[in-house]
Amino acid sequence: MEEHPRHTFGWTGLLWLAFLGGLALMDPINEIHKQGILLGIGLVQILEHRLLAWIPSRGRYYSVIIKIILATMLMQHTDDPTGGINSPYYLIYFLPVMTAAVLFDGVGTLIWTAITSAAYCSLLIPALEAYELPPEGAKELILRNIFFFLAAVLVNPFVSENRRQAKRYRLLAEELAVTNRRLEQAQEEARRSERLAALGQLTAGLAHEIRNPLAVIKGSAETLTRRLQSSDPLTTEVAGYITSEVNRLNTVVTRFLNFARPLKLEKSPTQIPPLLDRALKVAAERWPEIRVEVTRQYSDDLAEMNVDPDLCEQAFANLVLNAYEAMKETGGKLTVSIGSANSDGKRGVEIDIEDTGPGVPPELREQIFNPFFTTKKEGVGLGLSLVSKIVDDHRGWIRVSGEPGKGARFRVFLPAE
């Protein structure tokens, strides 16, 4: 469908009213028919943009047809005894011709100009019943019709070029909007990577500093337990608590160090679905009491990906475990899908893990990938951070979406090398 320019009632509408009002005042006061037709032409011209908006597929056809009919009626309601063929109002036919040149392409403009010319020439039929057409009259009639086509041919290329330029600018604006969104996503991922790097260095330093005092505390508690095991049961019990808590803290410190340590990828050609299946099995064994309906949607055309299978399986397991835990209270549905995809000109696969839990609020969707950020009562907030780190090291990305209260969808893109 051809695009048409948008119109608004402004100074051009006022000019139309002034122009047609002047034509109406030039007629005798008793020529009510001509004044009514002029008023109709003015209303059609001013309200044309509304007609095009109401009926976008056929509005332009109706607009040209109505103007041809009104122009013909105006020519017929003249004082000329020949039935209007010699009326000075013949210039009103330029109105449907220009409208066609604006709203249609080149072929459509020529067709509608020919129809307009035929409508004008039809006024010659009643005149020939009473008069003969002299050679000078025939020549003038031909010249008038030629000028109709000449005006249409001159105007249409400019309008068509303007329409093409407007379309190019609109497409360029849409591409720019898409590029801006991608740039914003890249900036968010870059900021997240910077925070991960800085916090990783901080974590490594703190972990090393904490481990030494923990080793001293644990050794002292074990020595105290051995010496006072038989003489003071209460002291022995307290020393046992110290040892167990030190072991727990040491486990947390080890996790911090594992997070801060640079990942060494050991890539190999790997099918992604088996990794995800094993992650689902791990989650089902970890949370057997949660009623979760799992739906798998795997594409048939998935190629092998050059990834680290162990790290990818760990990332998928963390995401699936989070989904299970989000549906811990009432159960729900977990939809896992894998398909080929393209992102920023890169081929790869997309993995979607979507649950029906409470979802992630929009204001937290960037923070949840930060280390030590968690909304759980228990946990240290390293699960999603590690997932993000694994995906980043594979030169991919991870994003979260979904409506709050209706679930969350984590989408992972892994590029093919």
DSSP-assigned beta bridge partners for residue 292:
332
Structure tokens at 394: 């594979």
pLDDT of 185 over the 60 cut: yes
**Terminal Cα-to-Cα distance of the chain (whole angstroms):** 42
Residue found by looking up tokens 């486990």 in the block? 251
pLDDT digits (tens, 9 = 90+) for 323-362: 998 898 888 999 999 999 888 778 999 999 999 988 888 8
- The reported pTM is 0.49
The CATH number of domain 268-415 is 3.30.565.10: yes
Give the pLDDT mean for 156-167: 88
* Residue 144: HSE in the Cβ half-sphere, 13 Å Cα cutoff: 22
**381: phi then psi, degrees, rounded to nearest 5:** 75, 35
pLDDT digits (tens, 9 = 90+) for 32-77: 677 778 778 878 877 888 888 888 888 889 989 999 998 888 888 7
What pLDDT shows up at residue 127? 73
Residue found by looking up tokens 């002299």 in the block? 134
Q: What percent of the chain has pLDDT over 70?
A: 81
Is 172 exposed, middle or buried, given 0-12, 13-18 or 19+ CB atoms closer than 10 A? exposed
Q: β-strand 305-307 against 332-343: which pairing, if any?
A: unpaired
